[in-house]
């Protein structure tokens, strides 16, 4: 439950009998999300690319939760074929209570996905859109299941370059990161509207981790070197996991957005978070949805909300 003081890992109720998929679960915030869910009795499908990294992460979790039910879910969001393969594996599970879209990349040099998309938009948004869409039938078969999409406080200054979505003409890596995080916010906003219009029991919920010191900032150069000092003022990875855990297991509203409640939403216990007006623009959300279907070739089959 969420107390007046806010939501933390201690607020997560018993999750015995439940199954969750956590993307990017081998390190950082994803590892901490998986750890808490496992400690509370859930079966956790840890989605990541490398089995050796999964094994190391699982061993880490089992040091404190030896009875953890953990499984490797091979997933590389750089390749939509891998996303389809992962979804096919999850389809074999008896049920799925939550998909926590945590994995992402941040401000790399210009790079492209296997399908040729700009990496940050391709991984952070299109990969998340594709996996969420493919798993909706499995989620819908489990009453009260949730899709959690991770955005960022960076979305507030984001804008989508509709006429250069694939960075064919210009590339500013920080701007493209902000754009991908705005896309995440628009995604869960539009998904919520369409799910509710369809009468689905699946909840679409958003979150952001604040500012946490993790490997996500490995392309930040000299700023990353100051991380151990700056990190004293920011969230740890474990604290950065609180909003996602809140979104996945706590008392939430459909389409709600959760993040740290401390100064400028950079750190602290999880509570209701602020969104930009652009993150709730119905026309932009509809346009992004249709573009995402076209780019991925994956249609969730949810009609536009009326």
50 close to 75: Cβ distance less than 8 angstroms:
no
Residue 2 belongs to a domain = no
CA distances from 73 to 6, 79, 216, 257 (A): 32, 14, 21, 27
Cα 156 to chain center, whole Å? 17
Walk across the sheet containing 43-48 and list its strands: 69-74, 43-48, 19-23, 98-101, 146-150, 203-207, 257-260, 270-272
CA distances from 94 to 20, 59, 89, 162, 222 (A): 12, 25, 11, 40, 47
Residue 223 belongs to a domain = yes
Q: Which phi-psi region, left, alpha or beta, contains residue 111 (left: φ > 0; alpha: ψ -120 to 50)?
A: beta
Q: How many domains does the chain have?
A: 1
What angle separates helix 51-64 from helix 28-39, to the nearest 10 degrees? 50
Q: Can you point out the beta strands (E) in the chain?
A: 19-23, 43-48, 69-74, 98-101, 146-150, 203-207, 257-260, 270-272
CATH of the domain at 272: 3.40.50.720
Here the tokens at position 22 are 């956590």
What angle separates helix 173-197 from helix 128-140, to the nearest 10 degrees? 20
- Please list the pLDDT of the chain residue by residue as tens digits (306 residues): 555 579 999 999 999 999 999 999 999 999 999 999 999 999 999 999 999 999 999 999 999 999 999 999 999 999 999 999 999 999 999 999 999 999 999 999 999 999 999 999 999 999 999 999 999 999 999 999 999 999 999 999 999 999 999 999 999 999 999 999 999 999 999 999 999 999 999 999 999 999 987 554 444 444 344 444 444 568 899 999 999 999 999 999 999 999 999 999 999 999 999 999 999 999 999 999 999 999 999 999 999 998
Residue 305 belongs to a domain = no
Residues annotated catalytic, as ranges = 177
Residue 44 belongs to a domain = yes
Residue 46 belongs to a domain = yes
Cα 172 to chain center, whole Å? 23
Domain span holding position 258: 11-294
Q: Count other Cβ atoms within 10 Å, centred on residue 157.
A: 14
Residue 279 belongs to a domain = yes
202 close to 136: Cβ distance less than 8 angstroms:
yes
Q: What is the pLDDT of residue 232?
A: 55
Q: What is the pLDDT of residue 124?
A: 98
Cα 163 to chain center, whole Å? 26
Three-state DSSP state, 271: strand
Closest CA to 91 of 147, 42, 140: 140
Residue 86 belongs to a domain = yes
Residue 123 belongs to a domain = yes
Identify the helix (H) or strand (E) that includes residue 222.
Answer: helix 222-225
Q: Give the global pTM.
A: 0.94
Q: What is the pLDDT of residue 233?
A: 65
Here the tokens at position 221 are 């150069």
């Amino acid at each position: 439950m969420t107390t007046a003081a806010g939501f933390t890992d201690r607020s997560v109720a018993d999750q015995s009998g439940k199954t969750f998929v956590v993307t990017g679960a081998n390190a950082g915030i994803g590892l901490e999300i998986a750890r808490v869910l496992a400690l509370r009795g859930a079966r956790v499908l840890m989605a990541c690319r490398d089995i050796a990294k999964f094994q190391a992460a699982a061993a880490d979790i089992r040091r404190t939760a030896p009875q953890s039910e953990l499984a490797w879910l091979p997933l590389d969001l750089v390749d939509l074929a891998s996303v389809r393969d992962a979804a096919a594996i999850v389809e074999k599970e008896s049920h799925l209570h939550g998909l926590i879209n945590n994995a992402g990349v941040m401000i790399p040099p210009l790079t492209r996905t296997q399908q040729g998309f700009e990496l940050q938009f391709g991984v952070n948004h299109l990969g998340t859109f594709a996996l969420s869409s493919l798993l909706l039938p499995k989620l819908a078969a489990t009453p009260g299941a949730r899709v959690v999409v991770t955005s960022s406080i960076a979305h507030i200054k984001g804008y989508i370059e509709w006429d250069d979505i694939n960075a064919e003409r210009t590339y500013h890596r920080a701007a493209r990161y902000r754009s991908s995080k705005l896309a995440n916010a628009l995604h869960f906003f539009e998904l919520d509207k369409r799910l509710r219009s369809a009468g689905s029991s699946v909840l679409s919920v958003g979150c952001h981790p604040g500012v946490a010191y993790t490997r996500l900032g490995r392309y930040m150069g000299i700023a990353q070197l100051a991380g151990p000092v700056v990190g004293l003022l920011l969230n740890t990875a474990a604290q950065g996991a609180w909003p996602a855990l809140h979104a996945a297991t706590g008392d939430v509203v459909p389409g709600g957005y959760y993040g740290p409640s401390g100064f400028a939403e950079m750190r602290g216990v999880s509570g209701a978070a602020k969104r930009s007006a652009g993150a709730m623009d119905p026309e932009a959300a509809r346009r992004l949805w249709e573009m995402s279907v076209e780019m991925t070739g994956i249609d969730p089959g949810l009609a536009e909300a009326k």
